[in-house]
Structure formats: structure tokens, C-alpha cells
């Protein structure tokens, strides 16, 4: 079997034979990513209404369903309505600490069965939650970022925020607030640079998903269909008075 040294040795041998095709450099990177990210966050804090407008346009362009409520007080009724429209009696969701509000407390009064992400990560928890997520027609999450340029929801996985919540149910609802809005892909790059500057420990999960609309394919005669493997529908609920990440 080829070792790392052998492989890289071969690469180096080839590199030595050429100067390359033209002078080139990778993208310039922020000298102090955390500071740059802070600056961007401060600017975004002022410009969020415009970013929200743009987000809505782009999100709807990719067939997302957009909602807006003033505060967490109005949120449960909205979610219950969406669940009713989808005929969903069972819901899976992120843990309260991951979202900043409690899904069980919000929806149980409406007679819905809520399975929040379990606190532990044992085999039994995992097995049971997988069954719940595979069965529930509705999954509710928060977001890390809402990217206005493309109408994209960006979700990192981690304790209390399973990957399946936004993947297995037919309908995914993401709840976010002003502090989550980001304007451009370029800014996302900067924020990711900052988060990884310390070795990436700030993100406690093994996956980050950029979600731009529902699951789709055009593999059969280039006819567009939705909900191949992932959700058939994605909803985004903007809560004006939702506190964002610290």
C-alpha cells in the first residue's frame, strides 16, 4: 500500500519538473479572522432588515415558504398551524439549548407529540431518535446563519442538534432571528475562517449543512421533482425578537 511519504514524494518529483502555467496565488485570507468576523457581525447587526428582505426573495425563489412573527410568543401557534397543514401529529426538533427556546413546551399544548434531541449520545438514545426522526413528518431546527444572497439556511450539527432533524422529515422548519442573518457567501467564508481559527473547536459537530430549498432532482427527463431523499418542503420562520448566538 502506498504510504503518505511515497505519495507526496511522487507529487514533489513532478512539481520539481515545472514552474507551473502562470503566476498564481490562492485567495488572500483575513490576517485576523476573529476581528474581521466581529466587524462583519457589527455591520450586519445594523443592516439586518435589508438582509431579511433579500433573504425572503431568494428563499422563496428556491421554493422555500417564509413566515414572520414578532416574538417567541406568537411562534407556537404558527408552528402548530404548519403542523396541522401537513397533517403532522409528531415532531422532532433540536434541544432547547441549541435553539434558545423550548419546542416541547411550545407544541405539547397543541396536542402534538414532540421528540426533542436526546440529552445523551448512547446507543439506545441514538436508535430511538433515529426511529422518531424517520417517522415524524415535521422537523424543527434553529440555524447558525441565514444567508441572504442565496436564501440558504446554514446549520451545524452537534450535541442537541442532530443532522436528521432537517433531513428525514418531509417538512423542515427553521426558526431564526436578526442575529443569524448574513448577506453574502463571502461573509460566510470569513465567519468560517474565524470559527476555524482556533482549530474549529467552536463548532461542536462533525457536519455543517448549507440548505438551499427542498431536496430536488431533475434526473428523469430533466423534469424537476422535490423531496427525493431530503425534505419536500422547507419553511423559514423569522422571529423579530429572537436572541441570536452569543
Angle among Cα 196, 202, 204 to the nearest 5 degrees reads 110
| Distance from C-alpha of 132 to C-alpha of 136, rounded to nearest angstrom | 6
Helix (H) or strand (E) holding 116: strand 113-116
Compute the distance between CA of residue 115 and CA of residue 139 in angstroms, rounded to an integer: 9
Among 14, 31, 42, 46, the residue binding another protein under the rule CB under 8 A is 14
Q: Does 17 bind another protein (CB under 8 A)?
A: yes
Q: Which of residues 34-73 bind another protein (CB under 8 A)?
A: 58, 62
* Range 71-100, binding another protein (CB under 8 A): none
192 binds another protein, rule: CB under 8 A: yes
Residue 31 near another protein by CB under 8 A: no
Selected from 93, 230, 235, 239, the binder of another protein by CB under 8 A is: 230
What is the spatial distance between Cα 90 and Cα 36, in angstroms, rounded to a whole number? 42
* C-alpha cell read off for 49: 432588515
Q: Based on CB atoms, which residue is closest to another protein, 108 or 226?
A: 226
Q: Is 171 in the site for another protein (CB under 8 A)?
A: no
> How far apart are CB 57 and another protein at their closest, in Å?
12
Smallest separation, CB 114 to another protein (Å): 16
The binder of another protein chosen from 34, 47, 68, 126 (CB under 8 A):
126
Segment interacting with another protein, rule: CB under 8 A, options 46-54, 67-75, 83-91, 228-236:
228-236
What span, in angstroms and rounded, lies between the C-alpha atoms of 161 and 175? 13
DSSP label at 241? Answer: T
- Helices 185-196 and 33-61 cross at an angle (nearest 10°) of 140
Kindly determine how many residues on this chain lie close enough to bind another protein according to the rule CB under 8 A. Answer: 83
Amino acid at each position: 500500500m502506498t504510504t503518505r511519504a511515497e505519495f507526496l514524494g511522487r507529487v514533489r518529483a513532478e512539481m520539481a519538473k515545472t514552474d507551473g502555467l502562470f503566476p498564481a496565488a490562492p485567495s488572500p485570507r483575513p490576517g485576523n479572522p476573529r476581528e474581521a468576523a466581529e466587524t462583519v457581525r457589527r455591520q450586519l447587526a445594523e443592516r439586518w432588515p435589508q438582509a431579511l428582505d433579500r433573504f425572503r426573495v431568494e428563499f422563496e425563489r428556491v421554493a422555500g415558504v417564509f413566515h414572520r412573527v414578532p416574538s417567541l410568543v406568537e411562534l407556537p401557534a404558527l408552528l402548530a398551524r404548519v403542523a396541522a397543514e401537513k397533517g403532522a401529529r409528531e415532531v422532532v426538533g433540536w434541544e432547547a439549548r441549541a435553539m434558545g427556546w423550548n419546542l416541547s413546551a411550545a407544541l405539547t399544548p397543541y396536542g402534538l407529540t414532540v421528540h426533542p434531541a436526546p440529552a445523551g449520545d448512547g446507543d439506545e438514545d441514538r436508535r430511538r431518535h433515529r426511529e422518531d426522526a424517520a417517522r415524524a413528518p415535521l422537523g424543527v431546527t434553529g440555524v447558525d446563519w441565514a444567508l441572504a444572497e442565496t436564501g440558504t439556511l446554514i446549520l451545524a450539527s452537534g450535541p442537541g442538534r442532530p443532522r436528521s432533524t432537517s433531513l428525514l422529515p418531509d417538512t423542515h422548519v427553521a426558526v431564526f432571528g436578526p442575529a443569524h442573518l448574513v448577506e453574502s457567501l463571502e461573509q460566510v467564508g470569513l465567519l468560517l475562517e474565524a470559527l476555524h481559527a482556533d482549530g474549529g473547536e467552536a463548532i461542536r459537530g462533525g457536519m455543517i449543512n448549507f440548505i438551499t430549498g427542498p431536496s430536488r432532482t431533475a434526473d428523469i427527463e430533466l423534469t424537476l421533482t422535490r423531496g427525493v431523499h431530503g425534505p419536500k418542503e422547507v419553511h423559514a420562520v423569522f422571529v423579530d425578537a429572537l436572541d441570536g448566538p452569543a
